[in-house]
Structure 1
Amino acid sequence: MMTKVFRSPAHHGYAVEVSPFIPNRVACAASQYYGLAGCGTLLVLDETETGVSLVRSWQWSDGLFDVAWSEANEHLLVAGGGDGSLQLWDVANHNTPLRVAKEHAQEVYSVDWSQIRGENLLVSGSWDQTAKVWDPALTQSLTTLRGHEGVIYSTIWSPHIPGCFASASGDGTLRVWDVKAAACRLAVPAHKAEILSCDWCKYDQNIVATGAVDCSVCVWDLRNVRQPVSQLGGHRYAIRRVKFSPYSKTVLASCSYDFTVRFWDFSRNQPLLETVEHHSEFVCGLDFNLHVPNQVVDCSWDETVKIYTPACLNAGTQSTTT
């Protein structure tokens, strides 16, 4: 497995996202001192033939915990900060954010940009137990959604249903929200532990995965949530992020505080496809590249961003029909 590495000394990675427009471009949200104190840095990186190069970096006065690219403008991205702010950044020219919105009372741990055509919305999830929906100008939030009884760690738009997003919380629930009605449509007691991440299947509007402090990934069919479709065990510590493959309906990846990234096919009797152990600290950020089949990007508290294609997906055996 060939891996390209970008090293960012004193910057501990929390989140990565591949550009929806530029195939070799990645953003990484990072923090000093493991995000417990100090400043944050937003990095824009390009994969090259020989490695990974820095395109742009910005400093922020507090830790940065998540990042999302605009789905409408290749130059824009939003980051969520430990000071309760969302910042809108422009890769093209500005040294300071285009706009800063600070409505959350505590850390913004999750930001996501809607992928549905004609629906240019952002969602943020915070340790203040609220999720907020924004227009891309970030002038002020359009709505604030309350219902979780714990910290919100993850907020992800449905790629299928307009005005719908899922959230995962320290209260052990996965929730599905209807923005137009400003209401929670479904609350799933998904784990008996804090849930740190959730993601939607790209091929089925009813399938959502959750990753939790109990070391398990659960795959849920929202039409029947009495028990998970699949429960994936193997990680030794909390699961920090889960991501569905954009290339296969039943393949997903998870990264963990056990320093590993694991790849799964929940349709198989033996779902674990591969365990990648190439970090020396918590692995916090994870994304699939939409442009390069089965390429993965991750980031860790070990001050590295890594770009690679895991062997289990490189064989060409995976397809959208599996």
Structure 2
Amino acid sequence: MSKRVRDPDAPEEAAGLKSGERPPSAPGNGPDDMDFEDEYEDEFESEDEVMEAGVDGRPDAEREAEEQDAMEVDQDTFIPGRNKLSPGETLAPDLSAYDMLHQISTTWPCLSIDVVRDNLGDNRRTYPATVYAVAGTQAERSREKENQLMVLKLSGLSKMEKEAEESDDEDDDDETTEPVMETKSIPLTSCTNRIRAHQAQQEGEGFPTTLAASMMESGQVLIFDVTPHLQSFDSPGSVLSPTQSKPACTIRAHKSVEGFALDWSPLIPEGKLLTGDISGKIFTTTRTAGGGFVTDTTPYTGHEGTVEELQWSPSERTVFASASNDKTIKIWDARSKTRRSVLSVQASGTDVNVLSWSHQTAHLLASGADDGVWAVWDLRAWKPLAGGASSRPLPVASFSFHKEQITCVEWHPTDDSIVLVAAGDNTLTLWDLAVELDDEESRFTAGVQDVPPQLLFVHYMDQVKEGHWHPQIPGAVVATGGAGFGVFKTISV
């Protein structure tokens, strides 16, 4: 959550970013940018005031009025779509709402990032935390040779400092440290539109073979084996050879046509990659038993516009979904000899930008569109039509809270009621679909009808583009945008 504060030197608010758009360059300011000062310290009542704060003798109307005041949104809380920053105002995070919060500036913005699983264990809840990731830069056109694929290690990510009386005994072992970002860079000659990592099953110590696929603005897709780069973080004095930073595969099937859609299959350990471009074509590339790669040059076709997103099914090895600016979502069977979709649904009146398949409930698919609406679909309600025409079923849930395009949507890895959404209004929101207001609670929400009860948390991040749940740190989110990287964990998830 964020609050407004006055700042005479604050720049004008930046516009949201759509796929492929380049943000203005943001100079790196180093780790100092990770520290926040709480300008909203708690005020405590005197002992006499506390003693007088009972409810004895007060009429019900007075107590109900107090309860209603407590339910109203703090006027200093910034809510996109309802509030706008005035000239000279900027936003400061409400630190009491975070368990962890770190922001890191980069020389060039990275509009795509992916979290890499590590060997530090699952279900980690102690601090300081460590995160590994891969990201791709978007340098200015005049300086394209400065682009790189970044292999990242973020360590020393401390828990937010709390008042002594709020600390739990179980947290006494948590250390307060300075966050550190280490990077291993792989030179690129073009911007990265989308990056995704793939690993085989984690076994034993060290990193398994880790592949990073980068979809370039040039139309090529480069696959790198970043295993040695990850291992070098924990091997002091190790030196990477130039050959270790060369692509293991260059996919040229898109013939210099730019693309944004990219996804590895979670069910094929050796590695199977989907790639889609602005001409509507989708290709598959498979890693062979010998470690090579083979691309099927016969594309899947049917979209009448850009393939904005691709998502493999988490439960069926041959099924995947696609989203397009032709306003449709399509379901495909990779075994189809016709290379046509088996289901097609008109999911929006605008571009459908992003998709996410539930990890826990295989028939649930979330989508985000250009009009700021994100929705949840039950695939069991989708029916094929004659001639491949698009059907128009209704979503099981739809939210229009965001007023700018949705740029990312992702289900929580272990809870199919929790969803992460990023949008062009500079916010990343967390949602709990299991929340429903009862009649008593509804009495106190009369002033906030445009804030759905399922909205769990709003995180402000300048020009945010993507966010991902960390699979091994419950509730932790790793995000990227025009101003750098963010790692946070709220007290509510």
| TM-score computed with the length of structure 1 as normaliser | 0.90
Deviation, structure 1 residue 194 = 0.3
Q: Distance in 1 between matches of 2:143 and 2:258?
A: 12
Q: Which amino acid aligns with 1:211?
A: G
The corresponding residue for 1:212 is: 369
Partner of 2:427: 260
Residue 15 of structure 1 pairs with residue 198 of structure 2: no
Alignment partner, residue 475 of structure 2: 294
Residues 117 and 471, structure 2, Cα contact 8 Å, conserved in 1: yes
Query: Tell me, what secondary structure is at the counterpart of 1:38?
Result: helix
- The answer to whether 1:311 aligns with 2:417 is no
For 2:180 and 2:216, how far apart are their aligned partners in 1?
25
One-letter identity of the residue aligned with 2:182: L
Size of the aligned set, in residue pairs, is 308
Candidates 264, 268, 271, aligned match of 2:454: 271
**Gapped regions of structure 1 (runs ≥ 5):** 314-322
Give the secondary structure class of the aligned counterpart of 1:140.
Answer: strand
- Any gaps of 5 or more consecutive residues in structure 2? 1-97, 121-130, 157-177, 201-207, 229-239, 383-392, 437-452
1:150-299, aligned counterparts within 5 Å?
150-181=305-336, 182-225=339-382, 226-269=393-436, 270-277=453-460, 279-281=461-463, 283-299=464-480
What letter corresponds to residue 38 of structure 1 in structure 2?
E
Contact between 2:360 and 2:414, CA under 8 Å: does it hold in 1? Answer: no
SS in 1 for 2:190: coil
**How far is 1:155 from its partner?**
0.6
> Kindly tell me: are residues 74 and 308 of structure 1, through their superposed partners in 2, closer, same or farther at Cα, counting changes over 3 Å?
farther
**Shift of the alpha carbon at 1:112?**
1.2
- Is 1:37–1:62's contact at 8 Å kept on the other side of the alignment? no
Q: Give the equivalent residue in structure 2 for 1:26.
A: 133
Instruction: Confirm or deny that 1:65 pairs with 2:216.
Output: no
Shift in Å at residue 188 of structure 1?
Answer: 1.1
Amino acid in the other structure paired with 1:178: D
User: Is structure 2 residue 247 aligned with structure 1 residue 97?
Assistant: yes
**Structure 1 or 2: larger strand share?**
1
Q: When you count helix as a share of all residues, which structure comes out higher? A: 2
State which drifts further: 110-119 or 55-64: 110-119
Post-superposition Cα deviations, 1:16-64, rounded to whole Å, max 9, x if no partner, equal 111134562111122113x898354211111211324233122321110
CA contact (8 A) 1:153 1:197 kept: yes
Equivalents in 2 of 1:37, 1:218: separation in Å? 39
Distance 2:143 2:380 in 1: 42
3-state secondary structure, aligned to 1:223: helix
| SS at 2:296 equivalent | coil
Say whether the 8 Å CA contact 2:283–2:295 is kept in structure 1: no
Q: Supply the AA of the counterpart residue of 2:459.
A: V
Mapping of residues 30-109 of structure 1, within 5 Å? 30-33=137-140, 38=144, 40-49=147-156, 50-72=178-200, 73-91=208-226, 92=228, 93=240, 94-105=244-255, 106-109=257-260
Q: TM-score, normalised by structure 2?
A: 0.60
The 3-state SS of whatever aligns with 1:183 is coil
Displacement of 1:75 after TM fit? 3.1
In structure 1, what residue type is equivalent to 2:198? Answer: S
Structure 2 residue aligned with 1:141, among 269, 278, 296? 296
Shift of 1:131: 1.2
Q: Partner of 1:171: helix, strand, or coil?
A: coil
- The CA deviation string for residues 122-176 of structure 1, in whole angstroms up to 9 with x for no partner, is 1112112111111133443364110111101111111111111111110111111
Q: Deviations over 1:215-237 (max 9, x none)?
A: 01110001114100100221121
Give the distance between the partners of 2:143 and 2:350, measured in 1 at CA.
Answer: 26
Aligned-residue sequence identity (percent) comes to 22
Structure 2 counterpart of 1:122: 273
The equivalent residue for 1:317 is none
CA deviation after TM superposition for structure 1 residue 110, in Å: 2.0
